[in-house]
């Protein structure tokens, strides 16, 4: 099968889950003998252009004539059996959906976030969950500065989504929506998306063989808890700080970079039991996670199918995570980890101390986490599901 796979990359250096999924699925398809054609852009293109280029790119977020023409040209020359789109906002724009359909191809779209409900993709207003724009009244974004804390940018994004809501671009021009969890499906159904087009498929991570490491050579304690991922508001970094303000005797190792890293680094320096390593090479990061007791993940937004969580399970490590989004169905309390109510710092502290004091239970839950990974997040099972999605989508009349 020949598959055209399309994606708008985040900025270079961003450890974005959808970028990782895009690359992993392509490698998976190629390893099974499929011909994969890629069409991509990167948000760095916007950053690296001048004022005129930025104006053109901003207008192109509504409708990119460049990508519309290029996608039609690519389809006409490559003649793919199916097209799979991951992220298309902001630079590819919804125009590519029209180019694909007008070229006669069936279109599968993986929804890595809640952008069809919330144009900001986070379902957050500040630090509070918000899905009000699911009703199509996007211009409330201006009042609350929802997009990058800017009224002007919020107005632009609101107009783009209002225009495409009126044209039903996201309703009519996609043949199959691949959702990553039940919460996504529920939110889409509530705003009128066709139930018959929706299917759920989790992400996957390869089963990696890791060389053992000596944590003492890395100046880490012999026993520790881990947080790793983006150092950003939506990942619950400030919640993590509050948790460890209440824990003085349990070491925490933190890996990752992001917009709050300077603030977090200054806070970490004031804590003898917090070790902030910043960005850490992936295999080294996974080795450190594997040697930890468990992973803490106090996210405050709807994780789609968190690569952090399924990677953690693949390493045989339990999780203590917010009872929200993907975690709702990924974690069974007392089996492979614990789910904590959103923003409940005291409950996080209680469960962290309980697990820390019960290493035998940690070992059991780690084995269960590994079993859960083998049952749900292995590459081969994911490949089987992906091909079934492609085959059934091709048959849609």
* Residue 210: inside a domain: no
Task: Say yes or no: 225 and 195 in one domain.
Answer: no
In a domain, 60, yes or no: yes
Same domain, 88 and 100: yes
φ, ψ at 140 (rounded to 5°)? -65, -20
The beta strand positions in the chain, using DSSP E, are 2-9, 35-42, 82-85, 107-110, 124-125, 128-129, 176-179, 198-200, 225-228, 252-255, 274-278, 295-297, 319-322, 337-340
pLDDT for 336? 98
Instruction: Annotate 339-374 with b (16+ C-beta within 10 A) or e (fewer).
Output: bbeebbbebbbebbeebbeeeeebeebbebbbebbe
Question: What is the bridge-based pairing of β-strands 128-129 and 124-125?
Answer: antiparallel
Domain that holds residue 7: 2-204+379-394
The whole-model pTM stands at 0.94
**Is 210 in contact with 287 (CB distance < 8 Å)?**
yes
Domain co-membership, 47 together with 153: yes
Domain identity same for 148 and 30: yes
Same domain, residue pair 196 and 281:
no
- Nearest alpha-carbon partner for 99 in 110, 115, 85: 85
**Helical pair 65-78 and 51-60, crossing angle rounded to 10 deg:** 70
Do 197 and 220 lie in a common domain? Answer: no
CATH number reported for the structural domain that contains residue 17 in this entry: 3.40.50.2000
Kindly give the interhelix angle for 307-314 and 359-376, rounded to the nearest 10 degrees: 110
What pLDDT sits at residue 305? 97
Nearest to 91 by CA among 207, 214, 7: 7
pLDDT for residue 209: 86
Please tell me whether residues 174 and 272 are part of one structural domain: no
Separation CA 63–CA 204 (nearest Å): 32
Residue 6 lies in a domain: yes
Considering its fold, how many domains does the chain have in total? Answer: 2
**Are 39 and 165 in the same domain?**
yes
pLDDT at 15: 63
Q: Is residue 87 part of a domain?
A: yes
Q: What is the pLDDT of residue 13?
A: 61
- What's the rounded Cα separation, in Å, for the pair 68 and 36? 20
The per-residue pLDDT string of the chain (397 residues; one tens digit each, 9 = 90 and over) reads 999 999 999 877 666 889 999 999 999 999 999 999 999 999 988 888 888 888 888 899 999 999 999 999 999 999 999 999 999 999 999 999 999 999 999 999 999 999 999 999 999 999 999 999 999 999 999 999 999 899 999 999 999 999 999 999 999 999 999 999 999 999 999 999 999 999 999 999 999 888 777 877 888 999 999 999 999 999 999 999 999 999 999 999 999 999 999 999 999 999 999 999 999 999 999 999 999 999 999 999 999 999 999 999 999 999 999 999 999 999 999 999 999 999 999 999 999 999 999 999 999 999 999 999 999 999 999 999 999 999 999 988 8
Same domain, 57 and 182: yes
Please state the length of the chain: 397
Residue 209 lies in a domain: no
Residue 123 lies in a domain: yes
Structure tokens at 189: 């159904």
């Amino acid at each position: 099968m020949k598959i055209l796979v399309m994606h708008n990359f985040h900025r270079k250096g961003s450890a974005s889950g959808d970028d990782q999924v895009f690359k992993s699925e392509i490698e998976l398809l190629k390893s099974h003998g499929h011909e994969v054609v890629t069409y991509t852009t990167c948000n760095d293109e916007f950053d690296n252009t001048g004022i005129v280029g930025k104006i053109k790119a901003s207008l192109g977020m509504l409708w990119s004539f460049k990508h519309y023409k290029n996608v039609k040209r690519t389809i006409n020359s490559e003649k793919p059996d199916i097209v799979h789109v991951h992220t298309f906002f902001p630079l590819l724009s919804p125009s590519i959906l029209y180019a694909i359909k007008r070229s006669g191809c069936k279109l599968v779209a993986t929804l890595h976030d809640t952008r069809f409900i919330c144009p900001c993709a986070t379902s957050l207003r500040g630090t509070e969950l918000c899905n009000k724009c699911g009703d199509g009244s996007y211009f409330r974004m201006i009042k609350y500065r929802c997009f990058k804390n800017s009224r002007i940018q919020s107005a632009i994004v609101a107009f783009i989504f209002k225009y495409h809501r009126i044209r039903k671009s996201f309703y009519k021009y996609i043949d199959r929506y691949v959702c990553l969890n039940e919460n996504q499906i529920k939110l889409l159904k509530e705003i009128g998306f066709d139930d018959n087009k929706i299917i759920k498929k989790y992400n996957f991570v390869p089963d990696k063989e890791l060389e053992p490491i000596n944590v003492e050579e890395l100046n880490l304690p012999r026993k520790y808890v881990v947080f790793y991922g983006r150092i950003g508001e939506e990942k619950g970094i400030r919640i993590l700080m509050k948790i460890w303000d209440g824990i003085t005797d349990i070491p925490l190792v933190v890996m990752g970079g992001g917009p709050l890293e300077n603030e977090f680094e200054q806070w970490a320096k004031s804590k003898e039991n917090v070790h902030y390593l910043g960005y850490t090479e992936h295999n080294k990061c996974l080795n450190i996670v594997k040697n930890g007791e468990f992973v803490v993940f106090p996210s405050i937004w709807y994780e789609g199918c968190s690569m952090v969580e399924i990677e953690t399970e693949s390493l045989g490590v339990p999780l203590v995570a917010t009872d929200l989004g993907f975690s709702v169905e990924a974690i069974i309390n007392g089996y492979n980890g614990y789910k904590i109510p959103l923003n409940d710092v005291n409950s996080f502290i209680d469960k962290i101390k309980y697990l820390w004091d019960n290493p035998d239970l940690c070992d059991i839950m780690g084995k269960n986490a590994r079993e859960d990974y083998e049952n749900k997040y292995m590459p081969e099972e994911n490949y089987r599901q992906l091909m079934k999605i492609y085959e059934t989508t091709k048959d849609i009349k």
